[in-house]
Amino acid sequence: MAAKPKLYYFDGRGRMESVRWLLAAAGVEYEEVLFETAEDFWNLIKSGKLMYDQVPMVEMDGMSIVQTRAILKYIAAKYNLYGKDLKERTIIDMYVEGMRDLNDMIMLFPFSLPEEKQKILNYILERATQRFFPVYEKEFKARVSKLPRIQKFLQPGSPRKPPMDDASLEAVKKIFKMDKSLFLQHVNIQIK
């Protein structure tokens, strides 16, 4: 029996959540190595397994796979969830890339400057409701949420992570030793 995939990340949704969803859709059980301290993350970097010194990382099939899209494509191809031909794979990629754009805005929001929060929130809500939600609400959401494995993943007690709160945000900042002033400036440049 093959070893369970091992997911390396902090205890939150972030970029790893789409990997969890895909593994759930494939019916694959996995283990998680969740960083609690900066030392946990640094030890993974020192191991030499972490290309680019960033996560998420998934260990499976003898590989240490990094970069979210590479992880997703590998899992989808391995479990026959990546379309039957080039056309279907392209459609899947369009949904994935759109979701990534939306997720990037949402994930960076907690790191925005306090005086910019309302402006950025309004921007995210406008983009989400006018550009992204209409696409996902046209059959896609209904079809995906009816899949038995996804229904199970959405139930309480599943490995799905809760939304980020202030305490988990502070934990992430400590784990990744984020310089608050530099990161906040970068976020605001990206969203304007």
Q: What is the CATH number of the domain that holds 154?
A: 3.40.30.10
Give the pLDDT band of residue 191 (cuts 50, 70, 90).
very low
Residue 139 pLDDT: 83
| Sequence-distant (≥ 6) Cβ neighbours of residue 60 within 8 angstroms | 3, 5, 6, 74, 75
- Percent of the chain past pLDDT 70, that is, above it, reads 92
pLDDT at 12 over 70: yes
Structural domain includes residue 1 = no
Residue tagged 């998680």 (tokens): 32
Domain that holds residue 74: 6-191
Structural domain includes residue 132 = yes
| Sequence-distant (≥ 6) Cβ neighbours of residue 136 within 8 angstroms | 95, 98, 99
| Overall number of domains in the chain | 1
Residue 192 pLDDT: 43
